[in-house]
Amino acid sequence: MSRVLVIGCGGVASTAIQKCCQADDIFTDLCIASRTRAKCDALAARLRGRTSANITTAQVDADNVGQLIELIRSFSPDLVMNIALPYQDLTIMDACLACGVNYMDTANYEPEDTDDPAWRAVYEKRCKEAGFSAYFDYSWQWAYRERFEKAGLTALLGCGFDPGVTQAYCAYALKHEFDQIDTIDILDCNGGDHGYPFATNFNPEVNLREVSAPGSYWENGHWIEIPAMSIKREYDFDQVGRKDMYLLHHEEIESLAQNIPGVKRIRFFMTFGQSYLTHMKCLENVGMLSTTPVSFEGHEIVPIKFLKALLPDPASLGPRTHGKTNIGCIFTGQKNGQPKTYYIYNVCDHQECYREVQSQAVSYTTGVPAMCGAMMLLTGRWNIPGVHTVEELDPDPFLEALDRYGLPRSESRSPALVD
Ligand SMILES: NC(=O)c1ccc[n+]([C@@H]2O[C@H](COP(=O)([O-])OP(=O)(O)OC[C@H]3O[C@@H](n4cnc5c(N)ncnc54)[C@H](OP(=O)(O)O)[C@@H]3O)[C@@H](O)[C@H]2O)c1
């Protein structure tokens, strides 16, 4: 019997909420709260009668700590699932601390306004000291560790697929397959086709910021940064086929570098089609990816927000997207003194996801782990006071839950390696 407050009602949240309703013996009371209450009401109406979970809705501005505290106090949840945007991570963590409630999210903090001078001063110092220049990093949320520990509360960070399941795969490999992991390659392949020349499959603003940033990887104890999309490889993905993939900076590299003892190299690759890359470069070159407001006919507009208004809503891609995703990790290392390689991954079919939850596989592969992570916290299996990323926690019950709720693992002990 648990009460869960879900903040956000976009593509990922709506999958997570529907999956929570499939486990309504655990998720007995759900409150869906977001900026636009009508979306929460529409989802709640769709679910009532199909689940025994008691569902209520609310309107909240998650940038406003006072409003969040009021909502949390009125609903008294056991857990707050933040599935809004990374911009709201800190305000929701503040409200959880004020109300004594566990917290989880699917992406680490980044500010909405990257021109804010106070944030920029910290950011520029971090770029110099750490050696990577992505707008997002864990330092902001790791700064809450002591407060969550003292309050006896757990904050679970980045519990989607990547970050999230990819780190559980690392913890699983370390626990069962290796004495020493030397290298990790995280491969995120989306072989889906939605038929548009250009669309993003999750929040466009967050997605475009991520993929237009310089790439980076961890090697021999430090970051190596490279120009965006300048390292390209081809890989033959199970059930998808050959795809071009590009090295990106990705948030889980930062925590894995700290938590996988002795790891020598961690890289992250994502597949992109040529049409996506050409459109993105063009939009970047003309300034449409900028987060700095410009004055247009007497109005202030933020170019990337305007672009978001023009692009297809990721939630609308579900019925049009065909094909599969394949996301996983390839490891090299040693077991019992012998060299070893191991690949663990999940393949997910866009149309099957659509039939089940009316969303494409990118929302599905994020929403299901969010629900399974919530289940780990509600059943006491991952409750360690403090602020934690997924690789710090026992992977076994989590991977079992993923197998059961729609994201089963596949394995290979002789995978092709990425050079
Ligand atoms: N770990 C992973 O594998 C992974 C993969 C993909 C995405 N993600 C993360 O998942 C999260 C959700 O992505 P998505 O694609 O579902 O995004 P989305 O479709 O844009 O949904 C975001 C939701 O948050 C709500 N929201 C935004 N600002 C808010 C505020 N100030 N107060 C209250 N609600 C607010 C939005 O409300 P409106 O409806 O009013 O706009 C919307 O319902 C993001 O953090 C994204 O980075 C993680």
CB 267 within 8 A of CB 186: yes
| Ligand 1 mutation pick, 366, 368, 372, max ligand atoms within 8 A of CB | 366
Which residue minimizes the CA distance to atom 37 of ligand 1? 35
| Ligand 1 mutation pick, 6, 7, 9, 12, max ligand atoms within 8 A of CB | 12
Q: What's the pLDDT at 408?
A: 98
Q: In sequence order, what are the residues at sequence separation of 6 or more whose Cβ sits closer than 8 angstroms to the Cβ of residue 348?
A: 324, 325, 326, 327, 361, 364, 365, 406, 407
Q: Which atom of ligand 1 is nearest to the CA of 12?
A: 16
The pLDDT tens digits for 281-315 are 999 999 999 988 999 999 999 999 999 999 998 87
Q: Which atom of ligand 1 is nearest to the CA of 60?
A: 33
CB 327 within 8 A of CB 189: yes
Q: Which two tokens stand for residue 257?
A: 């570098």
How far is ligand 1, taken at its centre, from the CA of residue 110, in Å?
A: 13
| Ligand 1 mutation pick, 31, 34, 348, max ligand atoms within 8 A of CB | 34
How far is ligand 1, taken at its centre, from the CA of residue 97, in Å?
A: 22
Burial class of residue 401 (count of CB atoms within 10 Å of its CB; 0-12, 13-18, 19+): buried
Q: What's the pLDDT at 114?
A: 85
How far is ligand 1, taken at its centre, from the CA of residue 98, in Å?
A: 23
Superfamily of chain region 165-357: Dihydrodipicolinate Reductase; domain 2 (3.30.360.10)
Q: What's the pLDDT at 316?
A: 85
Which residue minimizes the CA distance to atom 19 of ligand 1? 10
Q: What's the pLDDT at 18?
A: 98
Q: Which atom of ligand 1 is nearest to the CA of 86?
A: 45
How far is ligand 1, taken at its centre, from the CA of residue 181, in Å?
A: 34
How far is ligand 1, taken at its centre, from the CA of residue 350, in Å?
A: 20
| Ligand 1 mutation pick, 19, 32, 35, max ligand atoms within 8 A of CB | 35
Who lines ligand 1 at CB under 6 A? 8-13, 34-36, 39, 60-63, 83-86, 88, 106-107, 158, 160-164, 202-203, 206, 314-315, 366
Query: In the chain, what percentage of residues exceed pLDDT 90?
Result: 89
The pLDDT tens digits for 199-254 are 988 788 878 888 888 999 999 999 999 999 999 999 999 999 999 999 999 999 99
Q: What's the pLDDT at 31?
A: 98
How far is ligand 1, taken at its centre, from the CA of residue 308, in Å?
A: 13
Q: Which atom of ligand 1 is nearest to the CA of 160?
A: 1
Segments of the chain with pLDDT less than 70: none
How far is ligand 1, taken at its centre, from the CA of residue 14, in Å?
A: 10
Q: What's the pLDDT at 153?
A: 98
How far is ligand 1, taken at its centre, from the CA of residue 88, in Å?
A: 9
How far is ligand 1, taken at its centre, from the CA of residue 316, in Å?
A: 14
How far is ligand 1, taken at its centre, from the CA of residue 52, in Å?
A: 26
Domain ranges of the chain: 165-357
Q: Which atom of ligand 1 is nearest to the CA of 159?
A: 1
How far is ligand 1, taken at its centre, from the CA of residue 210, in Å?
A: 14
How far is ligand 1, taken at its centre, from the CA of residue 135, in Å?
A: 17
Measured on CA atoms in the order 149, 153, 154, 157, is the torsion positive or negative?
negative
pTM of the model: 0.95
Q: What's the pLDDT at 115?
A: 85
Q: Which atom of ligand 1 is nearest to the CA of 11?
A: 16
The pLDDT tens digits for 358-384 are 999 999 999 999 999 999 999 999 999
